[in-house]
Amino acid sequence: MKSSNSRPSRVGRNPFTHELKFTMIEKIKIGLMSVTVFPVRLLLVSFFMLLAWPFAFTASLGRSEFVIEPQSWWRRFIDLCLRVIMRAMWFCGGFHWIKVKGERAASSEVPILTVAPHSSYFDAIPVTMTMCSIVTKLESRSIPVWGTLISYIRPVFVFRSDQDSRRKTVEEIKRRARSGGEWPQIMIFPEGTCTNRSGLILFKAGAFIPGLPVQPVVLRYPNKLDTVTWTWQGPGAFKILWLTLCQPHNPMEIEYLPIYTPSDEEKENPALFADNVRKLMAKALQLPLTDLSFDDREISLSRGPLHIYDYSSLLEFNQLVCRLGLRAGTTEKVLEEQARRARKMQGDRLGLEDFAQFLNLPVTDTLTQVHSLFDQQGDGQIDIRDYVIALSTVHRPSKSMKTLKLAFKMYESEESGEVLEQEIAAILEIMLGVKEVELSGVFLSLDGPDTEKMTYDELHHFIDQHPRFVQDILDFKNHPRKFCIGRPKSCNGQNHNKDD
């Protein structure tokens, strides 16, 4: 698959990972703290959290989801108690003083605060200091103790799986935002997931759809040893708690930036509004912009023996098919159906018109871009099987064996179920996002006759035996393996016509 040159390569820049390395001195410090300060802090933190629970529980009694009850004196009292308790809890966790720059605007002025970068559960600190509402997964309501505290701040719940509920979430944000300050302000982490703070990823549009002024808030954790970052790949929740409680002091900085009022154009176009706020926040943070989004996380973190090696072109493909509305409707059944139709074409190459017909879509710029991604020979013709493999790969990045099986179904010969070596190479090129895949290593290490063909089961079996298949066995552009020595002829990448 080709990658358009309009965008710089994003390979190797994966902000969804966090790798911690310690020096010897840090290890000794952590060791000492673990047996002295840590247990005391953990006990105190737990104590304050438990202490907060009855307050939060009482306050949420008899509350309606749709109307704000009058602020009676006892509600105000409970609110004050909770703020004090939460502050004490963070204090015991090593967040002794928290630097606050700028000023938070009144809720009648700005209903929504957009907070970034989101990198940890310690990002709850500004929330407990302001008692703003947040947008969170419905599941978080059922976390013991913490769930009650979350419910106290009247979150807007999202059901991540359900397409319609996403709309409902936005409706609810709109409704509250337009209440003219009656509802608490909503703090939204527009990135929608945690990153390692190396850049700002794309913002989700939710906070920007109401088209009302927002106040950007930036967070900083200036500690040299970053113990707070909590991403998908990296230390888990408890390890982060442990390491953070072992630091003598955990500095944190919250900066309220000036209110941002959208222009008419931005009101019309939430994506533009979101992007302009993102630029402004990145500037305040002195961080680069990273053109990855919440949805790209799974693609850039794919695992398994055939994990995506270079995800840049697949990410680009994913963005385009999302734009075409093809991604949401993709199911296993749709993929099977497309694979069946692609098989029938028996490698016929499709021009743009035929491609549009295959997808039942009009020819648009975006569709043209998708088509050209697969135009390996630059003659305006594509092999539709490449498209189906790519779609299956981005649809289920971590289930690569399913994609492989689907791909085999499109290529295999009726009688033997075998697929030619160069076709397997073509399949893997799309799945891994690389070029010039060379399989001689695989065929060499199989003892059988030199058939240059393989069935799915044979390949599956081989991959099972080589968990580091991609790294150790495969040979592709920029990643040559020693196996090549035995077969110089087929190693120059000229033996099949998939190169461009």
Which window, 145-153, 195-203, 308-316, 350-358, contacts ligand NAG (CB under 6 A)?
A: 195-203
**Distance between CA atoms of 190 and 280, rounded to whole angstroms?**
14
- Decide whether 130 or 195 has the Cβ nearer to ligand NAG: 195
Per CB under 6 A, does 199 bind ligand NAG? yes
Q: DSSP code of 104?
A: P
Closest Cα to residue 387, out of 342, 418, 353?
342
In the set 107, 114, 185, 196, which binds ligand NAG (CB under 6 A)? 196
In the set 14, 312, 319, 376, which binds ligand NAG (CB under 6 A)? 14
Residue linked to tokens 């993709």: 330
Per CB under 6 A, does 19 bind ligand NAG? yes
Report the alpha-carbon angle 133-138-140, nearest 5. 75
Per CB under 6 A, does 15 bind ligand NAG? yes
**Distance between CA atoms of 480 and 14, rounded to whole angstroms?**
23
Which window, 17-25, 43-51, 301-309, 474-482, contacts ligand NAG (CB under 6 A)?
A: 17-25
> Could you tell me the two tokens for 340?
């069946």
Radius of gyration of the chain (CA): 27
- Decide whether 232 or 462 has the Cβ nearer to ligand NAG: 232
The least distance separating ligand NAG from the CB of residue 469, rounded to whole angstroms, comes to: 24
- Decide whether 200 or 390 has the Cβ nearer to ligand NAG: 200
The set of long-range contacts for 341-344, using a CB threshold of 8 Å and a minimum separation of 24, is 341/384, 342/384, 342/385, 342/387, 342/388, 342/410, 343/385, 343/409, 343/410, 343/411
Per CB under 6 A, does 198 bind ligand NAG? yes
**CB atoms near residue 404 (< 10 Å):** 23
- Decide whether 198 or 366 has the Cβ nearer to ligand NAG: 198
Contacts of 169 (CB under 8 A, 6+ apart): 135, 156, 157, 158, 206
Q: Are strands 252-256 and 156-158 parallel, antiparallel or unpaired?
A: unpaired
In the set 2, 11, 13, 51, which binds ligand NAG (CB under 6 A)? 13
**Distance between CA atoms of 118 and 208, rounded to whole angstroms?**
17
Which window, 11-19, 24-32, 132-140, 249-257, contacts ligand NAG (CB under 6 A)?
A: 11-19
- Decide whether 47 or 232 has the Cβ nearer to ligand NAG: 232
Which window, 16-24, 321-329, 397-405, 454-462, contacts ligand NAG (CB under 6 A)?
A: 16-24
Q: Are strands 252-256 and 214-220 parallel, antiparallel or unpaired?
A: antiparallel
- Decide whether 8 or 448 has the Cβ nearer to ligand NAG: 8
- Decide whether 15 or 262 has the Cβ nearer to ligand NAG: 15
In the set 2, 17, 141, 147, which binds ligand NAG (CB under 6 A)? 17
Report the interface residues with ligand NAG, using CB under 6 A.
Answer: 13-15, 17-19, 196, 198-199
